[in-house]
Structure 1
Amino acid sequence: MNVTELRGDGVRAHEYRWALPSVLLGDAREGRRVRRSTRDWIVDTGMFLVACGLTFLSLAEMTHEPEPLLAIEQVVGALACAAVWLRRRWPVGLALVTTLLSSYLELVGGACAVAVFTVAVHRPFKISGPITLLGLVTLVPYVMLRPQEDLSPAGGAVLGVAIVLTIFAWGIVIRARRQLVWSLRKQAETAAGDARRSERERIAREMHDVLAHRLSMLSLHAGALEFRPDAPAGEIARAAGAIRTNAHLALQDLREVIGVLRHAQSGTDDLVPDRPQPTLADLPALVEECRQAGMDVRLDLRAADAPEHLGRNLYRIVQEALTNARKHAGGAPVAVTVAGERGKGLSAEVRNPLWARHPLRLPGAGAGLIGLTERAELSGGRLEHGATPEGEFLVRAWLPWPMETTPETTLEDA
């Protein structure tokens, strides 16, 4: 089905996904214009042939009817079969008219069966149920006024009830199946939307974690040049080199993240490739980079053998904590302690004095600590931050480190 094809209910294919609940669940309006697809033409032709076939079978058994009544039966039966083509536009009206006519006229039965079946498929029980009940009621005058030679009135009534209920049940089953298919399709669409949203959130966290670190380095060195224009030429050259290096790294990281974002939004079914992720083994390099930027950082690392996914999350937590310390307590000594043991968990503490003030206070939106808390909670751990009685600002994180790490128990990178 292409994008310009029209469904049998008059809804374009690209609008069909949104119109499907009303059409499938039976809330479509009566009498609106119908444009059939190829499948709809095939189905409607089949329904028309079924109605005609049932009419001809009934006509073959009408051998002792008066000629005037037979002529009326034939005319009304032919009109009822032709009216089957209106079943998509006026299903309820067609079912009501044919049901009432079938209370005496026999050749309307084929069209009536198709109409009742259509209502059972396309309308809710609050509509299809009363119409079916009306069909059962009309059996009483039919068996009384048109007795059959080989059936008693009671036998004819039982046979009629069985036929009506079978048609109604068949339509209900088809309707229930369509509802199930639609529900599963909506669940699949919802799951796909959740996956895309999670991927966008992951990319956003990645951009924040990477760029906040790089840009804070740039601001720190630029601030030093601004407040010390009389610094020795060697220090100015080192600061300019650090600015150039961090700007280059920031652009490179941004290019990689944007490449992942474009791949995620390209609509392909391929898995989105992850950027190379750091682990606890990269913490010494991060600390050394901070030292070169002028920070006084001490690292105590006693859990270098942690699993990759665990070390990746803890690295990002420590990185963001150092970025916050550089923004709000530049020049103050920072102590980083990372320890852990299999079965007990992996913890990290980042401390810096509250009394420190940097001449260039970098702006912050306050999203860093919120992101750290979310990252820790998504990994099954917890994160605490705030001032301590000793006059320090503390960021403490704990992540679970199970005794056995398997692919099933490994958490994805938050």
Structure 2
Amino acid sequence: MTRTEYPWLLPSAMSQDADLPGDRTRARPRRTVRDWVVDTFAFLIAALIGILASEASRQAGNSELVVLADQMVGVLACCALWGRRRAPLGLALTLLVVSVVSPVAGGALLVSLFSLAVHRPFKPVAVVGALAVAGSAAAALVRPDPGMSYLASLLTGVILILLVIGWGMLVRAQRQLVVALRERARRAESEAELRAAHAQRLAREAIAREMHDVLAHRLTLLSVHAGGLEFRPDAPPAEVARAAGVIRDSAHEALQDLREIIGVLRAPGEGEGADRPQPTLATLDALVAESRQAGTKVTLDNRITDPAAVPAATGRTVYRIAQECLTNARKHAPGAEVTVLVSGRPGHGLTVDVANPAPIGEVEKVPGSGQGLIGLTERATLAGGRLEHGATDDGGFRVRAWLPWAA
């Protein structure tokens, strides 16, 4: 698999979008229960701060008309917070100007700055934050607090502005992290599915190559005997009957092989190794002997009395299953004894069971892609059988497959 086969794996496609749902006026179609709870809480916080500011304005000696005007402005500012998700930038700028002349709107301004930091990127937030600091300095001059000095009022306003903006930016960063992790998980899942599909395709191609070789052998045998009948029309009836029987059996077996190869594409570029002999159940003993020479402890229990009677395709599948399992055991459980059991009879199918216990002592972890087991499952499925694999209760591993064996 290459990146050109799957364009979404290119770096340009993997870059994360800085925007979040709700950014750039892409508001949610409707408020959720969580949105209503958060908006109500923000409204109450802004109203509480407004009430405190209104009481401070009354104690500062302002007239009742000024206090009433401040309260009306504060109510309108708090009500405007219900639209903070759709237009956080415009709301923050408006409340910034209003809070210069009406301290009661200060609570609503802080909430709007928090929403702006959550729903907009850093640049507009920094600009509005700087304007808010300047507005806080102007508000301390226009509506001074008699209980605090100008410097104390200015520092208090700046600290509150920086706190709510920093909090909002932290919330935004956490949401971006969640979105990025979800996207990464989705892409990892898609990549795993593509790898599995790729492994299945390779398994199909390997089966197609093997079946092609077997089918070619059947057809060649059929052609030889048919040619013999053509060049010896005066052959004895017994020889003619024997050749006709061979032709019939070869044609039947070729049709069986052809059914297995239908729908499986052969990969192009088949070169060297095409004429190599295909393994069968009869060569399973040689595979076990080879594994023993490599240092693997193998116990073979082959209950098939006549391996030659097993169909060639089924025998090859059994051989490939045992071969892959022995290889995996040698990599992941060195020193453990592998048990290979082959049983069955015509009409009931053929079963191959390969198991090994947990490795003895500490074993170096060998990375594996799992594509071999995927290929074995695909091979068994195409043969009309099934394959199961997984860890055992004692920490070992077991592979069990059933394949059809016609009567």
Note whether the superposition's TM-score is higher than 0.5: yes
Name the amino acid aligned to 1:303: E
Residue 164 of structure 1, aligned match among 161, 165, 180? 161
Cα deviation, 1:243-288, whole Å, max 9, x if unaligned, reads: 5446546757989x9xxxxxxxxxxxxxxxxxxxxxxxx9752797
Given that 2:215 and 2:257 are in contact with CA atoms closer than 8 Å, whether structure 1 keeps it comes out as no
Alignment match, 2:56: 61
Shift of 1:234: 3.4
Q: Distance in 2 between matches of 1:146 and 1:43?
A: 31
1:24 to 2:20 alignment: yes
Alignment match, 1:47: 42
Q: Distance in 1 between matches of 2:92 and 2:62?
A: 26
Q: Distance in 2 between matches of 1:45 and 1:250?
A: 71
Alignment match, 2:215: 218
Residue 242 of structure 2, aligned match among 227, 234, 242? 234
1:408 to 2:365 alignment: yes
Name the amino acid aligned to 1:40: D
> Where does structure 1 lack aligned partners over 5 or more consecutive residues?
1-19, 258-281, 290-298, 309-322, 324-341, 344-403
SS at match of 2:101: coil
Q: Across the two proteins, how many residue pairs are aligned to each other?
A: 269
Given that 2:54 and 2:104 are in contact with CA atoms closer than 8 Å, whether structure 1 keeps it comes out as yes
Counterparts in 2 of 1:197 and 1:247: CA distance versus 1, 3 Å: farther
Alignment match, 2:290: 303
Name the amino acid aligned to 2:160: I
Q: Distance in 2 between matches of 1:406 and 1:99?
A: 66
Given that 1:80 and 1:98 are in contact with CA atoms closer than 8 Å, whether structure 2 keeps it comes out as yes
Q: Distance in 2 between matches of 1:50 and 1:247?
A: 80
Counterparts in 2 of 1:184 and 1:78: CA distance versus 1, 3 Å: same
Shift of 1:77: 1.0
Residue 193 of structure 2, aligned match among 196, 199, 203? 196
Given that 2:73 and 2:104 are in contact with CA atoms closer than 8 Å, whether structure 1 keeps it comes out as yes
Residue 178 of structure 1, aligned match among 164, 175, 180? 175
Matches within 5 A, 1:14-413: 21=17, 23-24=19-20, 28-30=23-25, 34-63=29-58, 64-222=61-219, 224-225=221-222, 229-231=226-228, 233-238=241-246, 240-245=248-253, 247-248=255-256, 284-285=279-280, 303-305=290-292, 306=294, 406=363, 408-409=365-366, 411=368, 412-413=370-371
Q: Distance in 2 between matches of 1:246 and 1:38?
A: 67
Given that 2:25 and 2:87 are in contact with CA atoms closer than 8 Å, whether structure 1 keeps it comes out as yes
SS at match of 1:102: helix
Q: TM-score, normalised by structure 1?
A: 0.56
Shift of 1:121: 0.8
Shift of 1:241: 3.0
Shift of 1:236: 4.9
Shift of 1:304: 3.4
> Where does structure 2 lack aligned partners over 5 or more consecutive residues?
1-15, 229-239, 265-276, 297-315, 317-329, 332-360, 373-407
Alignment match, 1:385: none
Q: Distance in 1 between matches of 2:362 and 2:85?
A: 59
Given that 1:143 and 1:156 are in contact with CA atoms closer than 8 Å, whether structure 2 keeps it comes out as yes
Alignment match, 1:366: none
Given that 1:58 and 1:106 are in contact with CA atoms closer than 8 Å, whether structure 2 keeps it comes out as yes
